[in-house]
């Protein structure tokens, strides 16, 4: 069985999960490959028996570059795929949405998997509620999923589809509405616009390299940033001189109410045996978001 895992990862958490899913698959399959989203050879996909796609959750659903990638796939009637993701707080409608997109390509989605993971945004405090994940149990579950999905693929190939599992709806009733609201068009209008402070920018190029969709060009005049954008804010999180700037105050202001919903969701997940607290949720300092921490650390180094 020839298997390909396609992975989009920024902080390394999804990559780590992908590698352990691969370990599980390796116990069943005789040929496998793990590649990043930006290195996928779409023309070669037809040569694989099973394909997995993994990514972090953005705003309760798959990132826009993932939805674009799937929507641009050719029809792949009967091909077996699976999906997996890493996420903070809540899974959202992610796996249902990705499954539906893949099925529109006549792909047979045989299973899915999700993992809690450390997540950070410039306008939220850090550590955050899922800091400490993926933990050892999360990693072992990824390995076991790899075994089970490879075994299921072999069964499906022989005509036995009993092992196929559809993703289940989320339990939080507010999530689908929020996921539907946060469209690309809405975010383009409502989210803050970034700029590059060229007085402090060293033109190191880290932001350009980190942007998954080529939305930054510091050599253009004026510098191009956030064009296009998937609102990962990764450029602002990794800039070594904190030169990618905006007014975060609006998003900082909604953090306490957002976190209240996240904590309630995680407490419910803990009660179901699906989540383990690795931090004290009462320790969140909403007055000290990540962007302030980074600016302070930069000043301390000077």
The string of pLDDT tens digits covering residues 270-300 is 999 999 999 999 999 999 999 999 999 999 9
d(CA 87, CA 119) in angstroms, rounded, equals 7
Same domain, yes or no: 72 and 127: yes
Same domain, yes or no: 137 and 9: yes
* pLDDT at 101 (0 to 100): 98
Same domain, yes or no: 186 and 133: no
- Domain extent for 239: 175-301
Bridge partners, 245 (sequence order): 195
Same domain, yes or no: 18 and 150: yes
CATH classification at residue 68: 3.40.50.360
* pLDDT at 30 (0 to 100): 82
Q: Within a domain: residue 99?
A: yes
Total structural domains in the chain? Answer: 2
* pLDDT at 301 (0 to 100): 87
Q: Within a domain: residue 47?
A: yes
* pLDDT at 32 (0 to 100): 82
* pLDDT at 277 (0 to 100): 98
Terminal CA-CA length for the chain: 55
d(CA 89, CA 133) in angstroms, rounded, equals 11
Q: Within a domain: residue 167?
A: no
3-state class percentages of the chain: helix first, strand second, coil last, to nearest 5: 40, 15, 45
- Specify the pairing of strand 244-245 against strand 195-196: antiparallel
* pLDDT at 120 (0 to 100): 87
Q: Does the global pTM surpass 0.85?
A: yes
pLDDT under 50: residue ranges of the chain: none
Q: Within a domain: residue 286?
A: yes
Same domain, yes or no: 181 and 153: no
* pLDDT at 170 (0 to 100): 87
Which among 104, 56, 102, 57 has a CA at the least distance from the CA of 81? 102
Q: Within a domain: residue 258?
A: yes
List the helix and strand counts (H, then E) for the chain: 10, 7
- Burial environment of residue 109 by CB neighbours within 10 A (0 to 12, 13 to 18, 19 or more): buried
The string of pLDDT tens digits covering residues 111-153 is 999 999 998 899 999 999 999 999 999 999 999 999 999 999 9
Q: Within a domain: residue 168?
A: no
């Amino acid at each position: 069985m020839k298997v390909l895992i396609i992975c989009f990862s920024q902080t390394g958490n999804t990559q780590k999960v992908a590698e352990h899913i691969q370990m599980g698959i390796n116990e069943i399959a005789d040929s496998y490959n793990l590649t990043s989203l930006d290195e996928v050879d779409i023309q070669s996909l037809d040569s694989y028996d099973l394909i997995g796609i993994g990514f972090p959750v953005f705003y309760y659903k798959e990132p826009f570059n993932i939805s674009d990638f799937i929507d641009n796939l050719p029809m792949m009637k009967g091909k077996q795929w699976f999906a997996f993701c890493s996420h903070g707080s809540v899974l959202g409608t992610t796996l249902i949405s990705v499954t539906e997109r893949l099925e529109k390509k006549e792909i047979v989605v045989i299973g899915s998997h999700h993992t809690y993971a450390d997540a950070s945004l410039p306008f939220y405090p850090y550590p955050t509620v899922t800091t400490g994940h993926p933990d050892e149990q999360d990693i072992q579950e990824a390995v076991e999923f790899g075994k089970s999905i490879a075994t299921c693929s072999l069964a499906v190939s022989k005509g036995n589809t009993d092992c196929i599992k559809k993703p289940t709806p989320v339990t939080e009733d507010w999530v689908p509405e929020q996921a539907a609201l946060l469209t690309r068009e809405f975010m383009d209008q409502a989210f803050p616009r970034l700029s590059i402070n060229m007085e402090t920018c060293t033109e190191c190029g880290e932001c350009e390299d980190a942007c998954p969709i080529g939305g930054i060009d510091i050599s253009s005049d004026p510098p191009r940033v956030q064009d296009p954008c998937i609102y990962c804010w990764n450029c602002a999180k990794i800039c070594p001189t904190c030169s990618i700037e905006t007014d975060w105050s609006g998003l900082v202001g909604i953090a306490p109410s957002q976190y209240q919903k996240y904590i309630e969701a995680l407490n419910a997940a803990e009660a179901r045996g699906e989540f383990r607290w690795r931090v004290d949720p009462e320790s969140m300092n909403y007055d000290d978001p990540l962007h302030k921490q980074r600016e302070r650390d930069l000043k301390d180094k000077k």
